[in-house]
Homo-oligomer: A and B are copies of this chain.
Amino acid sequence: MAVERSGGGDPLKTLALLWRRPPEPKPVGRKPKVSVDQIVTAAIAVADREGLGAMSMARVAQELAVGTMSLYTHVPGKAELIDLMADAVLRERDLTPEGSWRERIKHYADRTRAVYRAHPWMRDVSMVRPPLGPGLMDGQEFVLAALADSGLEPRHVTVAHVAVEGFVHGAAASEVDDQQLARVTGESGDSWWGARQVFWDDYFDVERYPTMTNLWNAGAYETQGTLADNMRSSFDYGLDRLLDGIEGGLR
């Protein structure tokens, strides 16, 4: 299971591709069999179905019925292709600025999570040094506008933004990690924990871990629904606490 980092490759080439316009037809030369858009779309489809680890240049070429090496005429490398993919799916969010600043941030969080759920391979793409494409930038403008409307000072807006952004992407990634790993290993999250029953039986030490033991006995680990449901409720809880804390700092 390999994971790729966005922001790799040549920044200038990546930028040009991220902000590309529809290509003007060239007066001379061979006509292209495929476009950059088609390559990105095919790569996303492969990653959606098989995971990012299985998305090789050869696999994408196969999807497009072209030769592997021909892809390099259009994208400089795999790293750049991943940047393009990440930005393309972020563009699916369709953020609509309605309601209070908190509602807007929650809307952003929900749409971001939806993207991770639709494309679980996003978990495997670092969003810390992200591609500065339209999908990402539009999302950041959206959150910044919401935070600016909360009454925070400019300096605190940017700091809060980093905290919110980090939380949302991190939590969304955690939430789908279960789903993504299940796909790759052919094992559901619940059965993975079951397979780890051996840990509880053979290695867990109640004297070493008294709090966990007490919490277990108090029913604190009882799940309602699936693991993903619980990740979701933790996500909501954490975001609410974070927004409460930001809001508390306004008074």
Contact = CB atoms under 8 A, between A and B. Distances in A.
Contacts of A192: 7, 11, 129
Nearest to A213: B141
Interface residues of A, number: 78
Nearest to A164: B238
Contacts of A94: none
Interface stretch (A33-41, A54-62, A110-118, A173-181): A173-181
Contact of A238 (B5, B166, B234): B166
A121 to B, nearest CB: 12
Nearest to A1: B5
Contacts of A154: 214-215, 218-220
Interface stretch (A23-31, A64-72, A155-163): A155-163
Interface in A159-199: 159-160, 162-163, 166-167, 169-171, 173-174, 177-178, 181, 192, 195-196, 198-199
Contacts of A196: 11, 15, 132
13 contacts: A2-B3, A11-B196, A15-B202, A128-B178, A129-B192, A137-B209, A148-B215, A154-B214, A154-B215, A154-B218, A162-B234, A166-B174, A241-B241
Interface of A: 1-5, 7-8, 11-12, 15, 19, 79, 123-124, 126, 128-129, 132, 137-138, 140-141, 144-145, 148, 154-160, 162-163, 166-167, 169-171, 173-174, 177-178, 181, 192, 195-196, 198-199, 202-203, 208-212, 214-215, 218-221, 230-231, 233-235, 237-238, 240-246, 248-249
